[in-house]
Structure 1
């Protein structure tokens, strides 16, 4: 984050009463944690995207050639 953005956030936080500052910090912690998790999922998905494409093509080929059977959800 740029120092300008940090300075802006700091000014905004300082304008709030202390109780509201604590509440805002807690919400920011949760928001940042969610953003970090999303970033990790995006990175994992990007790493496996080629494998997913190969698996999807294989599944389509098996369906087209009649080598697949409908999933029996009762057996799961």
Structure 2
């Protein structure tokens, strides 16, 4: 099943030479892979957002109570 947007893109692609079509397809593949990665990241971030907020609140509380110590980046 094809949407009107996809049909429009197909018509546009058909007007191009085969080598240009191949270049466009490669760009589209890369773009779609990046988009899928971004969607996965957003979904993952949304699932862990409350944990991040809780951790940040805990860190702020520890700093306010004087329980936090500076991190020694030299010995990591």
TM-score normalised by the chain length of structure 1: 0.96
* Deviation >4 Å, runs of 4+: none
Aligned length: 75
**Aligned mates of 1:75, 1:9 — CA distance in 2:** 55
Identify the range of structure 1 (12-21 vs 2-11) with the bigger mean alpha-carbon deviation.
2-11
Q: Which residue of 1 aligns with 2:55?
A: 55
How far apart are residue 59 of structure 1 and its match?
0.2
**Aligned mates of 1:20, 1:54 — CA distance in 2:** 51
How far apart are residue 72 of structure 1 and its match?
0.7
Query: Which blocks of at least 5 consecutive residues in structure 1 are unaligned?
Result: none
TM-score normalised by the chain length of structure 2: 0.96
Query: Which blocks of at least 5 consecutive residues in structure 2 are unaligned?
Result: none
How far apart are residue 61 of structure 1 and its match?
0.2
**Match runs of 1:1-76 below 5 Å:** 3-76=3-76
How far apart are residue 3 of structure 1 and its match?
1.1
